[in-house]
Amino acid sequence: MWQIVLLAMASPARRAVVAYTDNGPILEYAFGDFACGIDVPTASAHVVAALSLISRTTPGLTFTPGPNGLEFVATDCASCNVWGYTSVNNTINLGWCATNLHAIVHEILHKLGFEHEQFHPNAADYVTINTSAMTAEAVVQWDSEPNPIYLSPFDICSVMMYSVEAEPAVTLTPLGAAALSSCSDAILSASDIVALRAAYPSDTKSSTQPASALAVVIAAGLIAVVALVVLGHTP
């Protein structure tokens, strides 16, 4: 078994260490300290449910308990966020989100390489973001990252998309309003699933040498295009 940081889509602080075996990518997980008045069995059950949801829709990716992967904690009671990325400090601090399945899936996808959907190059077609009316903290969450990589078209229904209703400085375009009205109650949108399967294809096998980052990105992009055609999605 060897370990690599897979798919340079998100900033390094968001990526997890993924172990590759002959059976494909495996991400280990464990539970650490829980505070914030969180019931540990309940929170743990929500985390396992989130991991199960992702693995059911992404056959190429396996989660398993173990000491060398993600550690879930709830010690920052004011927020929920991703901390660290090395195998030593590869932690998701769930905070008050420890029983929010949507938020847990969102944070896990960060570790799998996914950035916020509002950073997507085509986001401006769907939302108008008035950063001058935002706090400095909000601007960081809505302003674009440099050269993010996305494996599917912009999707306002994505689990990685911040709520447009919760930010008064963000308004919908007509196209965005139409897209938002078609969102379902599913946590993972159709585009989320396409992107996950492109990043972690079910036929991925390890070799003696890890693939180059460029080769992985190119291959994932091609898979995403094929998946979009098969599923009938258009940009």
What pLDDT shows up at residue 114?
Answer: 86
Exposed/middle/buried for residue 155 (C-beta within 10 Å: 0-12, 13-18, 19+): buried
What pLDDT shows up at residue 176?
Answer: 93
What pLDDT shows up at residue 158?
Answer: 96
What pLDDT shows up at residue 202?
Answer: 78
Query: Residues 12, 115: contact at Cβ < 8 Å?
Result: no
What pLDDT shows up at residue 5?
Answer: 40
Nearest-angstrom CA–CA distance, 196 and 59: 10
Q: What is the second-level CATH architecture of the domain 2-115+187-231? A: 3-Layer(aba) Sandwich (3.40)
What pLDDT shows up at residue 88?
Answer: 56
What pLDDT shows up at residue 111?
Answer: 84
What are the sequence ranges of the domains in the chain?
2-115+187-231, 118-181
Please tell me whether residue 82 adopts helix, strand or coil conformation.
strand
What pLDDT shows up at residue 139?
Answer: 82
Alpha-carbon distance values, 83 to 20, 57, 74, 110, 151 (Å): 22, 25, 12, 10, 24
Nearest-angstrom CA–CA distance, 198 and 193: 8
Per-residue pLDDT of the chain (235 residues; tens, 9 = 90+): 333 344 445 555 566 666 667 777 788 899 999 988 888 999 999 999 999 999 999 988 889 998 877 889 999 998 888 876 655 567 899 999 999 999 999 999 988 888 889 888 889 899 998 888 888 878 878 876 666 678 888 999 999 999 888 888 889 999 999 999 999 999 999 999 999 988 888 765 433 233 333 334 434 444 343 343 334 443 3
Nearest-angstrom CA–CA distance, 55 and 51: 6
